[in-house]
Structure 1
Amino acid sequence: MAQKYVKEKFEYCKIIEPSATFAGLAFEQCTFAGGALMQEQDDPAYGLLVRDVSLQKCKVGNVVLYGIRCDGVTVDTLGHSKPIEFEACVFEHVVLRGNLGAVRFSPAIDDESRKVLAPAAVKLYEEIDWALDITEAKFSGIEMWDVPGHLVKRDPETQFLVRRDAAAAANIDALPFYAQILIERAAEAPYETSVLAAPARSKDFEEALDAFRKLRDLGIAE
């Protein structure tokens, strides 16, 4: 049974470890001042593990997340004024639902780190049946450049799959303005498929949705 915390406040905490497991935790209506959870050194074993953890209606400050493997994690409604970036993280059976702010999934920024972690992530994903479920998530902003799109459970009406070869072959100038940079990014993504999701909580939602539907009509998205 998970250790449960309700309406508790947690101070800023920085955890930088070569290997550690955080498991069996449930947080409900808790507040986190912020912090860091990251690998001490680039480790292809991805020994920094968050497993069987849930957050429901929590709030979090500025956080740094790097090189983490998340397994069996559920986040249901999260308040955060600053974007949350998962840099070089790997996901297995992770569910995001409810209202969230801006979220970004990106490869390691540093070139040398990317050379170590990217191939390791590819191998891990070969053994994973699905990575993320965002079918019920409503973001104010969302970018997914470091998760294989075909391993993402999505709402096909607002969240679209783009294949790297189709993005690379697209005539960028002929695309809706909103989608041009995103398709360029999809053509350079580390995986063969990416997901473009219209941010339901953004003022640009309708523009994004219209642009992605046009990409589908053109055969670039599905």
Structure 2
Amino acid sequence: MEIQHINTDLLTRGRLETTIIRVESPLLFWVQLKNGEQDLKELEEELNFRMSRRAKYLYIWPDQMRVDMDVAVRDRQSWRRGLIKKFNRATSMVQVSLGDWGRLLWRRTSEVFLLEERFQHLPWQGIICGLAYTGPVTDTSTWPKETNDLCRILFEGQRGWIKIIHPLRKGAALVKLEVQQKNSPNGTFDARDTLIQLGHAELRTRVTVDAYPAV
């Protein structure tokens, strides 16, 4: 068994309340759906309880590890679900994707453990998103660092709502994003319109553009 991604093609085309958990650029950010927050919270609480008692029994020998293997790793003070992405055999390090949180981290092979099947039923809760019909203001293949930094300041860690415009692969979509204003529970702003007004993006006729990093 392996953890599946949320199928964005099956999600409503109405507004979905989310938390924006990580931002790399206007075309690459991660959200968690509000209606899955409690399920993830309960899963991670149980995972932390189990791993505090059973980790030594779930050790994986390095020669048994493989790419795309579901694992458990410590992230700061918590145990989280992860997926092996690649190895550095020379340093005995493993790159692990935290599919619920949209982050990559490196761990020693001795710090990567088998994920029990009971924790594989809930789909990955991180959805990879990009703003639809949005491109850089200049003819470039890379989003400017200033734009990416601004997006992190404005969006990361905030509550918001996505509306799926174009589903991509499972667990990914191009979206319209509304962000709740800081210190204003009833105030929201449109992410794309705000970037355009601030001179960091422009409206495009194509649903997406080739500007790295992107979903």
Q: TM-score range by the shorter chain?
A: under 0.3
Larger Rg: 2
TM-score relative to the length of structure 1: 0.26
- Greater relative contact order (Cα 8 A, min sep 6): structure 1 or 2? 2
The structure whose residues are more often strand, as a share, is 1
